[in-house]
Every structure is written in structure tokens, then in C-alpha cells.
A and B are shown apart, each in its own frame.
Chain A
């Protein structure tokens, strides 16, 4: 069946470094992808999204890359800060007005 998953459950980076969080999806019909950030005790917060007709989209310190050939999605965070520590989820829209979420990657920023 369709699934959205992440390659790594945890990721540690030094403050100020760039981080890359990866996500693999299996449904080639998915046409919309979202990254969420979830801090402890809070609900997921929207970070950035991308549609399947795009390869790259940039926000403030974040970039999402979409490779439809290998069904891979990544989130790049530039110059990481302590406040970036959280669990990051990717999600895909399969056209049925529902999102399918991946397992999440816990990002830890080391001082």
C-alpha cells in the first residue's frame, strides 16, 4: 500500500550547520507534499509545501526538494538554531483530500 516514510528517525547537527531531513514516498500519484514541525507538547506546525509540478521551493531558511523520479522529498534547514529542535514530518496528499504522514525525524541541535 501507499506509505510515506523517513529514512532516519533521529538527526543531530551542530548549531549553525545546515541540516537535511529526508522522506521517501511510494505513491507516484501524489501531487502535493508538506513538511510539518512538531515541538514537544504542541501540534504540528506547517513549514513549507510543494506541488508535484515543482522541483524546489524555498522559504525562510528552509528549502524543500522534490525528486519525482525516485519519489524522494527532502527538507533543508540552513544555519540551524536551537529553536529548530523538533520532530519533522513529511506528508503527502493523495488526491482524496486526506494527508498521509511519515514516521517523523527528531532533529537535535547541539550547541
Chain B
């Protein structure tokens, strides 16, 4: 069982609001990832980090930003949310190149 947590689990907000999605893991993993997923569809990598102070953009362009100040924490921020940002956001971590462990996800709805 992976110890990776995401908050909030569900979020409904209005257009233009700034939001931060939290992701924390207690496994000491160096590598962390953010994916965006529409219901039942494939996961698209939007950000990743290989360690503290390291962040990279993923394959899918996203208006969100991330930071990695602490090993265990990898928050994702949207400065001004729009309806097009409505989706599920999944955080994952790994200690190697291989198996990634996922959090439960945050389902975001922007009105």
C-alpha cells in the first residue's frame, strides 16, 4: 500500500480563482509526478520532479505550475482557474524509474 496523499479530494470553484492541489508522500521517494485524466481516459503527464528544486513540464501542456521545496511535498497551483481545467488530477511518486504509486486524485470542477 502506497503512502501518498492528495487534498482536497473534490473541489468546486468559480472561474478566476487561484487554487493549490496538495500532494504528499511519506515514502521518501525522489521522483514525483502530476497527471491529468478525464473520466475513463488515459493519463497525461503534466509535471514531474526528480528531486528537491527540480521540476519539469510533462508531455501535455498545462497552465498549472508546481514546486518541490521538500522531498515529500509536490503541490500544483492554478493561478486563475477556468472551466477547461475541469478534470481529475493524479499525483504519483517512485523511488526508481519504474513502478509509480498513485494518490487517490483530486477531482476539480471549475464553474
User: Taking beta carbons and an 8 Å cutoff, which residues of A are in contact with B?
Assistant: 32, 34, 36, 41-46, 49, 87, 89, 93, 95, 97-104, 106
Query: In the complex, what distance in Å separates the CA atom of A64 from the CA atom of B58?
Result: 28
Shortest CB–CB separation between residue B2 and chain A, in angstroms?
A: 8
Secondary structure type dominating chain A contacts: strand
Query: In the complex, what distance in Å separates the CA atom of A100 from the CA atom of B60?
Result: 11
Most chain B beta carbons < 10 A, residue from A41, A44, A87, A102: A44
Known contacts: A43-B103, A97-B50. The answer to whether A49 contacts B43 by CB under 8 A is no
29 A–B contacts from the bound complex (CB under 8 Å)? A32-B98, A34-B98, A34-B99, A34-B100, A36-B102, A41-B104, A41-B105, A41-B107, A43-B104, A44-B43, A44-B90, A45-B102, A46-B99, A49-B98, A87-B40, A89-B43, A93-B97, A93-B98, A97-B31, A98-B45, A98-B59, A99-B100, A100-B59, A101-B42, A101-B43, A101-B44, A104-B40, A104-B41, A104-B42
Query: In the complex, what distance in Å separates the CA atom of A104 from the CA atom of B41?
Result: 7
Q: B74 an interface residue at 8 Å Cβ cutoff? A: no
Please name 16 further chain A to chain B contacts, defined as beta carbons within 8 Å, in addition to the given A32-B97, A103-B41, sorted by A numbering.
A34-B98, A34-B100, A41-B105, A43-B6, A46-B99, A46-B101, A87-B40, A89-B43, A97-B31, A98-B33, A98-B48, A99-B45, A100-B59, A101-B42, A102-B42, A106-B40
Size category, B interface = 20 to 34
